[in-house]
Structure 1
Amino acid sequence: MHFKTVALIGRYQDSGLDAPLRRLGAVLQAAGCAVLIEAQTGSNTGVQDFPLASYQDIGKQADLAIIMGGDGTMLAAARELATSDVALIGINHGRLGFITDIPLGSADEAITRILNGAYVQDERMLLEGRVMRGDQLMASGLALNDVIINRAGRGGMIELRVECNGVFMHSQRADGLIIATPTGSTAYSLSAGGPILHPQVQALVLVPVAPQTLSNRPIALPEDSLLDITIRALGRVESGASVHFDMQALSNCQEGDRIDVRRSPHRVRFLHPQGYSYFSTLRSKLNWNRMLHPWDDPDEHAL
């Protein structure tokens, strides 16, 4: 037995989540695991079959947390459990599912295989950032996907000054700037024209959002880079600027505010069933060459 205590976390806003949670809990108990259910998940789904636990309790007691939902649910759980050593498994009950990669229909079989030791481990880096106004700390947070600085309302572009390790990089006028991890490279960063970074590439990527000058291009930086971004001007933006940690927002930033971003000392551990392939996930989610040569794809049924 590799995992003695397993926590269940779900996107409790979804209807019909109670049945798969109960079924998965029964699979875990049959395998000899003690089962906890995250408190809000249990209260909102009506699943009272297992002890309710806060994220703090899960971090102290659980060896494994299974997240049933979309990538947003996984992002929230990863931030909450980042300082613990709890491994995470994602079951897709959402739409896209880059990091909740196990289909709901095959969840019971996949979890049983993982409990029996047939899994691969995948460690992901986190970012930590803070918003400073002079010497005053305005906000701080962790991000598995990205830290984003953008205009908070209608109006003109914002002007940002970017330094890396104390060295001036550039100033840019744009709708915003994305600082993404390899995990976040398939999220907003990809939509804004950034590259896909394999999870084993230890780097950050900076991606401008709708820059005024087309020569402002995405750039990949070493993972130990220390970034200082200063809001130089807000132009005609009516509502100021905002900073997002995995889409958790701090609004009403002012000219002169500084956003510091660096790699967090904490990491997130994902577990996948044995045979998991990152490239298979990309083929599935991005429909890479899906209709061209299906015989090249080992995930396709043989013709």
Structure 2
Amino acid sequence: MSLQFHRVALVGKYQDSASSAVPDSTREIIAEIAGFLTAQGCQVVLAERTAHSTGLDQYPALDVATIGNECDLAVVVGGDGTMLGIGRQLARYGTPLIGINQGRLGFITDIPLEGYHETLSAMLGGAFEEDHRSLMHGKVMREGECVFEAFAMNDVVVNRGAVASMVELRVEVNGHFVANHRADGIIVATPTGSTAYALSAGGPLLHPLVPAWALVPIAPHTLSNRPIVVADPVEIAIEIVSGKDASASFDMQSLASLHHGDRIVVRRSEFRVRFLHPTGWSYFDTLRKKLHWNEGGV
């Protein structure tokens, strides 16, 4: 095998609390995969938070910027949430990512943990499909000033407060008024995010090659307020017209207590996330498996 990736970063799930270690099973999985990569001839490093959570100190621990600048590949072990977190951060460096699924659904971490050895070995040798995913750059503007900004690979969500009634949201696309939505909120989803919250809210599935966003109202007061797909070069602005305790979430990175008049502005980022999949990978195979299509029917 001719090794295509020499310095490989391993990124795993970690606890939100800095003082909490990951379960022994997760530590063992990370250690086993690190040993496998080393046996393949790779120089293995760990993401700092993964090293801290697992206590595996025999490998160099690097921050995200150093991984982006110095590593040829990142292997992500966990669920889609783990991949979203590191994917947003590494997009600016163009670092390719391979996902080993330790979670449940796994739309973007698509190599099963069981028996990953053969698949990963082939991919390290160059047998893979490359898949680029769009990234959103969102801001919260208040009286002309940016008070919060973040990247999102899945979605930007504006939600009503936990105990409040619905909110009213003014939606604009490229400065053109679309509608005032009275609803529990609204989702701006990428094709990657179209299989997440937006799907649960009744939004469409978007193929990753489609350069578009889905605008999906959450429980709208008027049933004619339907999801709409717009081209992703546009700028989307969502203004808080009325309602209490609304919040904005960018792939779960949140700003609570939005004010009336706040504008959530979403644009396409200049960066894209690079996923590598096994040879023969198909988006439709993933949909059939994860959404259980063709099961129970004739």
- How far residue 81 of structure 1 moved from its aligned partner, in angstroms, is 1.0
TM-score, normalised by the number of residues in structure 2: 0.94
Partner of 1:210: 219
Partner of 1:297: none
Q: Which amino acid aligns with 1:42?
A: A
**Cα distance in 2 for residues equivalent to 1:106 and 1:264:** 36
Secondary structure at 2:194 match in 1: helix
Select the residue among 251, 273, 288 that pairs with 2:278.
Answer: 273
- How far residue 78 of structure 1 moved from its aligned partner, in angstroms, is 0.8
Partner of 2:261: 256
Mean Cα displacement is larger for which, 24-33 or 266-275? Answer: 24-33
Select the residue among 146, 153, 162 that pairs with 2:162.
Answer: 153
Cα deviations across residues 109-153 of structure 1 (Å, max 9, x unaligned)?
211010111100000000111001012211000000000001122
Select the residue among 35, 41, 49 that pairs with 1:32.
Answer: 41
Q: Conserved in 2, the CA contact under 8 Å of 1:68 and 1:93? A: yes
Cα deviations across residues 171-209 of structure 1 (Å, max 9, x unaligned)?
110000000000000000000000111111111000000
Q: Which amino acid aligns with 2:259?
A: Q
Mean Cα displacement is larger for which, 11-20 or 268-277? Answer: 11-20
TM-score, normalised by the number of residues in structure 1: 0.93
Partner of 2:113: 104
**Cα distance in 2 for residues equivalent to 1:12 and 1:172:** 38
Q: Provide runs of 4+ in structure 1 moved above 6 Å.
A: none
| Unaligned ranges ≥5, structure 1 | 294-303
Superposition pairs of residues 1-303 of structure 1, within 5 angstroms: 1-13=3-15, 14-15=22-23, 16-234=25-243, 237=244, 240-293=245-298
Secondary structure at 1:139 match in 2: strand
**Cα distance in 2 for residues equivalent to 1:199 and 1:27:** 31
**Cα distance in 2 for residues equivalent to 1:229 and 1:85:** 30
RMSD between superposed Cα atoms in Å: 1.1
**Cα distance in 1 for residues equivalent to 2:60 and 2:275:** 24
Q: Conserved in 2, the CA contact under 8 Å of 1:27 and 1:112? A: no
- How far residue 292 of structure 1 moved from its aligned partner, in angstroms, is 2.5
Q: Conserved in 2, the CA contact under 8 Å of 1:92 and 1:100? A: yes
Secondary structure at 2:82 match in 1: helix
- How far residue 31 of structure 1 moved from its aligned partner, in angstroms, is 2.1
Counting matched residue pairs gives 289
Secondary structure at 1:252 match in 2: coil
Give the fraction of aligned pairs with identical amino acids, expressed as a percent. Answer: 50
Q: Conserved in 2, the CA contact under 8 Å of 1:22 and 1:49? A: no
**Cα distance in 2 for residues equivalent to 1:229 and 1:155:** 19
Cα deviations across residues 3-61 of structure 1 (Å, max 9, x unaligned)?
12100000124521122222221222222211110111111112222111111111111
Q: Conserved in 2, the CA contact under 8 Å of 1:68 and 1:92? A: yes
Secondary structure at 2:114 match in 1: helix
**Cα distance in 2 for residues equivalent to 1:281 and 1:253:** 37
Cα deviations across residues 254-279 of structure 1 (Å, max 9, x unaligned)?
00001110111100000011011111
**Cα distance in 2 for residues equivalent to 1:111 and 1:253:** 45
Secondary structure at 1:195 match in 2: coil
Secondary structure at 2:277 match in 1: strand
- How far residue 66 of structure 1 moved from its aligned partner, in angstroms, is 0.7
Secondary structure at 1:82 match in 2: helix
